[in-house]
Amino acid sequence: MPPAPPHSTCENQESTSIQDRIHNHPCYSEKAHHHYARLHLAVAPACNIQCNYCNRKYQCANESRPGVVSELLTPAQALKKTLLVSEKLPQLSVVGIAGPGDPLANPQRVFSVFKTLATQAPDLRLCISTNGLALPEWVDELARYSVEHVTVTINCIDPEIGAQIYPWIFWKNRRYKGIKAAEILLAQQQKGLKMLVERGMLVKVNSILIPGINDHHLPEVNRFIKQTGAFLHNITPLIAKAEHGTYYGLTRQREPSPEELLTVRQICGENMNVMHHCRQCRADAVGLLGEDRNAEFTLADLDNHPDIDHQAVMQKRMLAKTQIQAALTNPTANYHIPLSSLKTSKNSLKKYRSLLVAVATRGQGLINEHFGHAKEFLIYEASAQEIKLLRVHKTQLYCTGQQECDEAETRMHNILQGLAGCELLLCAKIGYAPWKQLEAAGIQPNSEYAMVPITQAIANIYAEFKQAGKLTLSSQQQAS
Ligand code: CLF
Ligand code: SF4
């Protein structure tokens, strides 16, 4: 057996039983997210609170953020969609309900879906994401349907801060505002978290980083959730665009910079598992985390499609799972195993600097995306000790296939901003014009590793750079 890869924080430290529960969940396992798909069923329209970063009225097929959907589903349509998606994407491993409102504010619809899936697609993992207000009431019902992965959004543990994030809640047939609302919500979230942990469920806590509101407070939230037994902390940046019509968007609340996000994730990551590969999905997202194929599965498609045999698609999913697992454990593929050259002493960390590398991929853990077609870049940090995914930079396509030179310039500007600090960009292919622009900005494009596993390519490059003396720190730098 090859050594455990130093690639993903979660995977390295977990026991076998936890591994079994996360190995094919694309959010709980960074490794899995290259291979396994998720499906969000948008069956939950209502919400029981208001967050200052949310406006569910705004809908746009190109918009990717929580709370947004194109079409709401009935529970019956949700089942049909699951079967149809399985037929086309047998690597589907998780079905989640994440909105567009709060799932537990729509319990009849949500549990009706879980009940059906538990019998018609028992191999699929069930997942839910909630604001936590109604959570204590429904924990046992979640356990009944073996919903083992639950996300609770906890942005603060201090009601004074909560009052700046949540203007109101609706609880036990009454509307509460201000501090009182925050006190109730936070108490419910904390109670729900504790109950989930007591029942052995794997809890992910989502926290939105809101500069000036909870940025300095999140390490405290992190200590609290770790102490309570949460499995994973997912800190994501606030999205606050005026055109979305949210309170924060309209009041021009600042979004955090990539550096601010990294800093908070780094601080919290010293204490517990922190997620780095979240894509802030829409509530109707379909596919690998980096892609959204919802447009291929519209209500019209569902209506026009003949009935699907749930046993047959389950067989397809099982086969896909076996194939993915076989590929992942094939030592010659080296999907997630950096070369042994990285396994150096702690002293090497002082001698050699790290390297930031941007990667264009469309899944399978490979460098397999054309630069012009990339909708996102994964930013990895390679050091003498490990290769880790730091963040994901989402972008507009550089190439739309049309003559829109002005727009291409703007898009390249945005890409360069998002890749700041990277020294290399690995992709399957790249045109002459963007190559020159990247080079001029100090980012070396490289398509020599097309179809090579990401970590293997980065490990090779790191070893080459190291051997060429490009990463050696001066004695002054080593001393500081
Ligand atoms: Fe969906 Fe969320 Fe389950 Fe994943 S998403 S309900 S845990 S299956 Fe994942 Fe999307 Fe980030 Fe959520 S990348 S927004 S963390
Ligand atoms: Fe929007 Fe979710 Fe907040 Fe409800 S809990 S207001 S759906 S972000």
Tokens of 253: 């609340």
Query: Which atom belonging to ligand 1 lies closest to the Cα atom of 97?
Result: 6
Report CA-CA distances (Å) from 261 to 101, 236, 409, 420: 26, 7, 27, 14
CATH 3.30.420.130 spans which residues of the chain?
A: 335-479
Ligand 2 centroid vs 133 CA: distance in angstroms? 11
From 50, 129, 135, the mutation candidate for ligand 2 (largest count of ligand atoms within 8 A of CB) is 50
- Sign (positive or negative) of CA dihedral 308, 310, 312, 313: positive
Q: Point out which residues pair with 92 in neighbouring strands.
A: 37
Q: Looking at residue 4, what is its pLDDT?
A: 35
Tell whether ligand 2 has an atom less than 6 A from the beta carbon of residue 54: yes
Closest protein CA for atom 1 of ligand 2: 54
Ligand 2 centroid vs 66 CA: distance in angstroms? 8
pLDDT tens sequence for the chain (480 residues): 333 333 344 455 567 788 888 989 999 999 899 999 999 999 999 999 999 999 876 544 444 555 566 788 999 999 999 999 999 999 999 999 998 899 999 999 999 999 999 999 999 999 999 999 999 999 999 999 999 899 999 999 999 999 999 999 999 999 999 999 999 999 999 999 999 999 999 999 999 999 999 999 999 999 999 999 999 999 999 999 888 889 999 999 999 998 999 999 999 999 999 999 999 888 899 999 988 888 899 888 888 888 889 999 999 999 999 999 888 877 666 665 544 445 556 666 678 899 999 999 999 899 999 999 999 999 999 988 889 999 999 887 665 555 555 667 777 888 998 898 999 999 999 999 899 999 999 999 999 999 999 999 999 999 999 988 988 887 777 776
Task: Name the closest ligand to CA 54.
Answer: 2
Q: Looking at residue 343, what is its pLDDT?
A: 54
Ligand 1 centroid vs 128 CA: distance in angstroms? 8
Closest protein CA for atom 4 of ligand 1: 27
Q: Looking at residue 400, what is its pLDDT?
A: 59
**92 with 287: CB under 8 angstroms?**
no
Tell whether ligand 1 has an atom less than 6 A from the beta carbon of residue 392: no
* Amino acid occupying residue 272: M
Ligand 2 centroid vs 202 CA: distance in angstroms? 22
Alpha-carbon distance of 265 to 378, in angstroms, equals 16
Ligand 1 centroid vs 203 CA: distance in angstroms? 12
Alpha-carbon distance of 452 to 270, in angstroms, equals 31
Tell whether ligand 1 has an atom less than 6 A from the beta carbon of residue 37: no
Tell whether ligand 1 has an atom less than 6 A from the beta carbon of residue 205: no
**337 with 12: CB under 8 angstroms?**
no
Tell whether ligand 1 has an atom less than 6 A from the beta carbon of residue 47: no
Tokens of 14: 């977990």
Ligand 2 centroid vs 151 CA: distance in angstroms? 13
In the chain, the N- to C-terminal Cα span, in Å, equals 39
Query: What is the reported pTM?
Result: 0.88
373 φ, ψ (degrees, to nearest 5):
-105, 0
Q: Looking at residue 62, what is its pLDDT?
A: 44
Q: Looking at residue 479, what is its pLDDT?
A: 72
CATH topology of domain 335-479: Nucleotidyltransferase; domain 5 (3.30.420)
CATH 3.20.20.70 spans which residues of the chain?
A: 13-304
Considering the four listed CATH numbers 3.30.379.10, 3.50.50.60, 3.20.20.70, 3.40.50.1000, the one that applies to the domain covering 13-304 is 3.20.20.70
Tell whether ligand 1 has an atom less than 6 A from the beta carbon of residue 98: yes
Give, for 148, the enclosing helix (H) or strand (E): none
